[in-house]
Structure 1
């Protein structure tokens, strides 16, 4: 069996290009004890992947040059040397950007294709959904009647944050790019309002939509939008720092918040989150979120790009705002 792979060839400056990857075809390795051969069906495309390409200290080791690019995946077990996994099982794990993977069973999780389409385990029932669930509920600590604002609201994490906040009885305002995305948030997902950062004055719109201020801000973008929201926070507000997609491809220093003294004035709290910190409780979160989906309270949407060879261009869709919902690469020859 032959295996197509994308290896990290060089560390990008600014947006990654196809030149940053080595596209190779290798033989599939033989299995050792407690290993699986997995046919990868879907690959998760996430903003965090851009950070994993950088050298330097972070919450996770950078992808090494010459290594298969790290990515979340779902697929089917073709062979197993572990009694706990059988041929035909579907599994989730970080198997990387390749068609097949021979991996240790450590870190691999069985998924139930009868509960949801398998690609959903890369979105609402996967890392983005877990990020939204724990980041909002355990760090944002929303209370019924409060106002929650989320940036990157039409993305994989933002769509779930807003819907969970509505489930918890909050007023929800999303910030997204483009009229179509904003309409989707309000008309399809039930947000109370949406701000198009491409055409609206964010501070002015926040004052109109959140006249009493912002209690919880879930930040996926950083930069100027974070600065604008900080001017509108209420006393004891909670700002959840999930990501800063507006800054990931900078060729200059990351822009920090100039309005951070608003935290002092309002006795507010800003806290970063990393989804892996909650791994022990993923099962509980998946069960609750699957229940919300079954009840029609939580909607899921995957933006699927087909074709393994399209990986470099598909990844860039995240940074150009071209996806609505969870961006996933469907692996086909």
Structure 2
């Protein structure tokens, strides 16, 4: 059989890649070796880190990324036929795996045990983004009831989960997003106390201080000028979890870097700093919250393997709300 996969054949010149930067190649597959198993891809994830990690990679390279699928053939007893598997095996319609950790995150293929929930959630709220939100917020921000929590890129998968967990913890939550539609989503559907469109707010500090007297916890997904303004509002003994810096992923040189106030803890992190048992516990807790409706999930599902580059570019541009996945 022939396996189709995407490769990045040209470096991304700007923040937004171009469709022509990607190409599809065919990979011949004959038969499994001992210990291998074949997964038919069901959904592929688009995530901002794919842009960040591309900055220093030599082309051409296989486009990496998370996907979830079903085992259709196996010579590995730990991964039987019909098992659902999440892996970091990239943009391909079939994946030949052996159960070993991937080269980037060191994650072994695993059964997400999604139950009756939509399988696509294994790439979002019940996958890497959910783990990132839960552990990054809980372990670094250490929220307390009454804390003022600010979240950038708050309508995205990670940010929206952080904000909802903060509300469950009894916090006052402020979100920044890139459109009025997203602002209304944060306020009306997710219950954020305050939300702002950063594209329309001229003075970030003034906007924040018009509704609260300072910020205890900031979950940073964007970096750049927005974070610089938010940092000016941090209270003494504030905590900042630096999850991402999407505003700088295109190697921009004109970004204003945040000035860290005195007595504020700032810590960058990756979900991989926690072991699998902690990650699994995070997924289990998030699953319980999703099942009982304490956490709402929003997805935008794009249909078709050939739509992967367009979906990725649209996600980076901020065209959709919530988790963007491609149904294969």
Band the TM-score falls in, shorter-chain normalisation: over 0.9
The answer to whether the 8 Å contact 1:227/1:258 transfers is yes
Map 1:215-230 onto structure 2 (within 5 A). Answer: 215-230=216-231
The answer to whether the 8 Å contact 1:5/1:97 transfers is yes
Structure 2 CA distance for partners of 1:169 and 1:7, relative to 1, 3 Å = same
Q: Is 2:21 the partner of 1:5?
A: no
Taking the aligned partners of 2:19 and 2:96, their CA distance within structure 1 comes to 25
1:311 to 302, 308, 314: 308
1:71 to 42, 53, 65: 65
Structure 2 CA distance for partners of 1:222 and 1:29, relative to 1, 3 Å = farther
Q: TM-score, normalised by structure 1?
A: 0.92
Q: TM-score, normalised by structure 2?
A: 0.93
- TM superposition shift of 1:316: 1.0
Aligned to 1:270: 266
**Partner secondary structure for residue 166 of structure 2:** helix
Q: 1:188-224: CA deviations, max 9, x gaps? A: 11111101112223222111122x2000000111111
Taking the aligned partners of 2:216 and 2:136, their CA distance within structure 1 comes to 15
Taking the aligned partners of 1:303 and 1:165, their CA distance within structure 2 comes to 24
Taking the aligned partners of 1:269 and 1:31, their CA distance within structure 2 comes to 50
The answer to whether the 8 Å contact 1:173/1:209 transfers is no
The answer to whether the 8 Å contact 1:34/1:81 transfers is yes
Taking the aligned partners of 2:30 and 2:139, their CA distance within structure 1 comes to 42
Aligned to 2:184: 183
The answer to whether the 8 Å contact 2:52/2:246 transfers is no
Q: Is 2:249 the partner of 1:253?
A: no
Aligned to 1:95: 89
Taking the aligned partners of 2:61 and 2:130, their CA distance within structure 1 comes to 27
The answer to whether the 8 Å contact 1:68/1:96 transfers is yes
Taking the aligned partners of 2:13 and 2:28, their CA distance within structure 1 comes to 31
The answer to whether the 8 Å contact 2:34/2:76 transfers is yes
- TM superposition shift of 1:256: 5.0
Map 1:202-217 onto structure 2 (within 5 A). Answer: 202-210=204-212, 212-217=213-218
Unaligned runs of 5+ in 1: 56-61
Q: CA RMSD in A?
A: 1.5
Q: Is 2:236 the partner of 1:235?
A: yes
- TM superposition shift of 1:36: 1.3
Unaligned runs of 5+ in 2: 101-107
Taking the aligned partners of 2:193 and 2:322, their CA distance within structure 1 comes to 18
The answer to whether the 8 Å contact 2:40/2:94 transfers is yes
